[in-house]
Amino acid sequence: MNLDIVILAAGKGTRMNSELPKVLHRLGGNSLLGHVLTAANTLKANKIHIVVGFGAEQIRSEFTEQQDFEWALQEQQLGTGHAVMQAMPSIDSADSQNKVLVLYGDVPLTNAETLARLVAQSEGDTLSILTLITENPAGLGRIVRDEGGEILSIVEEKDASEEQRQIKEINTGIMVMPAAKLSQWLQALGNDNAQGEYYLTDVVAMAAADGDCRIGALVTEDEHEVQGVNDKTQLAALERQLQMNNAKQLLEAGVLLRDPARIDIRGELVTGSDVEIDINAIFEGNVSLGNNVKIGANVCIKDSRIADNVVILAGSNIDSAEIGSGASVGPYARIRPGTVLKEDTKIGNFVETKNAIIGRGSKANHLAYIGDAELGENVNIGAGTIFCNYDGVNKHKTVVGNNVFVGSNSVLVAPVTLADNSFVAAGSSVNSDVPADNLTVARAKQRNIPGWKRPTKKQK
C-alpha cells in the first residue's frame, strides 16, 4: 500500500494564551508535533505533509533539519477540509493504490500500533475512521450509524439534533482515505454549517453515498490516545498521562519506582536490571542506566550514560557525562558536560566538574570545582580545592597524575601538571608544575600582628 500522511498543524491555539504556535508546546520534552511525527514515522509513508499556518516559519525551522517534509501553507484557517486541500497538490491522487492518513499536530499520544491497525484495515476503496466510545461526548462530532451498524456520516455537535447528541461514539478526526476519492470529495465540500467552515468530516457522508466505497471504523476506548490539546490545562493533563505511561513501562521492565506519580522522562530512558529510582527524578534527552543503579530523590540526569552499580545521591545534577561502574555521585553534586568519571570514583556534596576526566578510584568528597582537567587513578582532591581553568579569555588544562594528594583549600592555576605521587599541602596556590614524589607548599608567610583592633561601626 502507498501511503501519504497529512498532519494538520495550522492553528494558533488561542486558548493557550501564548505567542508560541500550539504544536510547538512541549510534552515530555518533545513538542506536540514532534510526538505526532514520531508515531507517523513508524508507518514508513511515501511522504509526510505538514499543513502550517500561524507561526509557519517557526514550525518549519524547528523540523527542517530532522527530515525532508512536504510543507503546505493554510493562510486562512477555514476548517479541516480546507487544510487538507492545501496538501493535495503534492499528493499523487491519480494512483488508485494511494491512501491518505490525516493526523493532527495537537494530538500527541496516538499510539503507533493503533495507526498501523487503522491503515491496515483500509485496503481497497475503504475509508477508515478512528472513533472513540466516551461517556462525555460534549463538543465532539458524533458517529451516525444506520440500523445495521454501518456509518452514515459524522455530525458536528453544533449541527447535531438532540437525538444525535446522545450518541456516545465520537469522531477523533483521524482517518485513512483513498487519495483519488479524497481529491474528488474535497472539491465537492461546502461550508453551509454553523461554523462556516469546510469540514473534513463531511467526506464521510459523501463516501456513504458513493456506492463503491466502504466505510470502516477502528474503535478505541483510550481517551488519552486521541485527546487534543487546546489549553494549558489539557496540556498538563496529558503530560501527567504521558509520565504515567512511562512509569508503567519502567515498572513492567522491573525498575523499582518509589512513587510512580513522581518521575519525569523528557526523552528516552534505557534501564538495566534492578534499577531503583527515588521520587522527583528527571531524565532528559537520551539517558541509559546500567544494572543495579540507584538514583536518589530530586536528581536530574540529561544525555548521560550511567554504568553498573552506580549510586547517584539526592539533589545531584548530571549533564552530558559518562559515569563509570561503581562510582558514587552526590548528594548535591553538579556534573557538567564533558565529564568522564572512571570506575569506583567518588564525587561528593557540592562538588562541580566540567570537561574533566577523573581516573579510577579518585575522589573529591566535598566543596570543590574541577574544570578542564585530567586526573589519574587514586587521586584525592581536598575540600575547597579549585581548579582555576580560566584566565578571563582562554581556558587552560590541569593534569594530575596517579596517587596525587591535594590538600584542602588549594588553588591549582592552569596550565599546570602535578606528576605521580606528588603531595600539595593544604592552602597552597600552585601555578607551576610539581615533579613526581614531591611535597609542594605554596603559602604566603604568616604574620601575627599584636594589639590589632577590629574595625568598629561608624556612628551616623
User: CB neighbours of 258 closer than 8 A, spacing ≥ 6?
Assistant: 276, 277, 278, 279, 297
Alpha-carbon distance of 323 to 320, in angstroms, equals 10
**What's the number of CA atoms in the CB half-sphere (13 Å) around residue 192?**
3
Q: Tell me, yes or no, if 35 is annotated catalytic.
A: no
**Alpha-carbon span 349 to 341, nearest angstrom:** 15
Q: Please check whether residue 310 is in contact with residue 329, taking contact to mean a CB–CB distance below 8 angstroms.
A: yes
Q: What are phi and psi of 280, to 5 degrees?
A: 60, 25
Secondary structure letter of residue 105 according to DSSP: T
Q: DSSP state, 390?
A: B
> For 354, how many CA atoms within 13 A lie in the half-sphere containing its CB?
12
C-alpha cell at 51: 499543513
Strand partners, 126: 214
Among candidate residues 25, 35, 82, 366, the one labeled active-site is 366
The span from the CA of 22 to the CA of 395, in Å, is: 41
Angle formed at CA 101 by CA 215 and CA 85, multiple of 5 degrees: 100
Angstrom distance (rounded) from CA 321 to CA 327: 13
Residues marked active site are found at 366
